[in-house]
Amino acid sequence: MVPFFKKPVIVPHMKLAMRLLIAACLVLPLSAESKRGTRKSLLDTDPDVVYLDQTMTKPIDLKVIKEAPVFSDKEGKIRLGTLKANQTARLEAITDNIYRVRGQGTRDGIAGWVAPWAFTSKDPQFVVHLKDLYDRQLQVQALIQAKQVAVGMTLDEISRSRGKPTKTSLRKTEKGQSGRWEYIDYEQIKHYTTRVDPVTGGVYRQFSHITQVEKSRTAVEFKDDVVTAVEESEDHQGGNVRIVVPPLIFGW
């Protein structure tokens, strides 16, 4: 019989199992934390939001004329706090009816979604102009997603859509610069030769070489970084030229 209070005997393989269990408990939380750290922000993946840092070369600031509630979501369901009046807030993103701003709250700095009625600008038509910007960028985002180009896009937007051009040419004058980018898609053709086995007399195909044949060509002509013409060698359904409004320039 084994006394009740006597220390139990742990055999070597049980010690090893316990050590492995403890090590696993320590590693798993670290692994989960690593995965959480690399997860992409949900804000950056919302297709209905236009992010101004991806669109504008200069930031847009709006004057806050009324205290307004700040929400964590663009639907206005979860309130974060209150944006103070009589300050300048930085505009970060927009939808068709609400803005994401960063400014001073009643307690501390705050960033979130705020209704347009809380703001004013030097431009009395700023709400209309931001709506035009929003509509344009949704069109551009759809073109980029489909890897297409259109008259009115910028060279940066063309690069995001099609990548680095195959050929480029640039002309600079006292009136500005103009040029042409070409994107050429190639198709690889495999070539084979017919051989006869000298021993068995059997006929077989042997790989010889690969050649590249031009499949399609897209050329964009631009002036001052804005596309003015698009030329495509491949047939597109309907044959219509895709056009978007040129980038809007704000003097705010």
- Strand locations in 72-175 (E): 79-83, 87-94, 99-104, 109-114, 119-120, 167-173
Provide Rg for the chain, Cα atoms.
31
* Mean pLDDT, residues 37-45 taken together: 45
Residue of 138, 161, 139 whose CA lies nearest to 220: 161
Distance between CA atoms of residues 90 and 60, nearest Å: 6
Residue 50: its pLDDT value, please?
94
Cα-flanking dihedrals φ and ψ of residue 164, to 5°? -75, 130
Cα-flanking dihedrals φ and ψ of residue 177, to 5°? -130, 150
Residue 241: its pLDDT value, please?
76
pTM across the whole model: 0.69
Q: What is the CATH number of the domain that holds 207?
A: 3.30.1450
Residue 116 and residue 156 in one domain: no
Distance between CA atoms of residues 229 and 142, nearest Å: 19
Query: Does 67 map to a domain?
Result: yes
Tell me: the pLDDT tens digits for 114-163?
999 999 998 888 999 999 999 999 999 999 999 999 999 999 999 999 99
Q: What is the CATH number of the domain that holds 55?
A: 2.30.30
- What are the percentages of helix, strand and coil residues in the chain, rounded to 5? 25, 40, 35
Of residues 12 and 40, which shows the higher confidence score? Answer: 12
Is the model's pLDDT at 226 over the cut of 90? yes
Query: Does 10 map to a domain?
Result: no
Looking at the 3D structure of the chain, how many domains does it have?
Answer: 2
Query: Does 111 map to a domain?
Result: yes
Query: Does 177 map to a domain?
Result: yes
Q: Per-residue confidence at 15, pLDDT binned at 50, 70, 90?
A: low
Tell me: the pLDDT tens digits for 176-215?
899 999 999 888 999 999 998 888 989 989 999 999 888 8
Query: Does 139 map to a domain?
Result: no
Q: Is 188 helix (H, G, I), strand (E, B) or coil?
A: strand
Is the model's pLDDT at 12 over the cut of 70? no
Residue 19: its pLDDT value, please?
60
Residue 166 and residue 224 in one domain: yes
Query: Does 138 map to a domain?
Result: no
Residue 25: its pLDDT value, please?
47
| Average pLDDT, rounded, for the chain | 83
* Domain carrying residue 191: 152-239
Whether residue 230 contacts residue 242, with contact meaning beta carbons closer than 8 Å, is answered with yes
Query: Does 179 map to a domain?
Result: yes
* Mean pLDDT, residues 84-88 taken together: 97
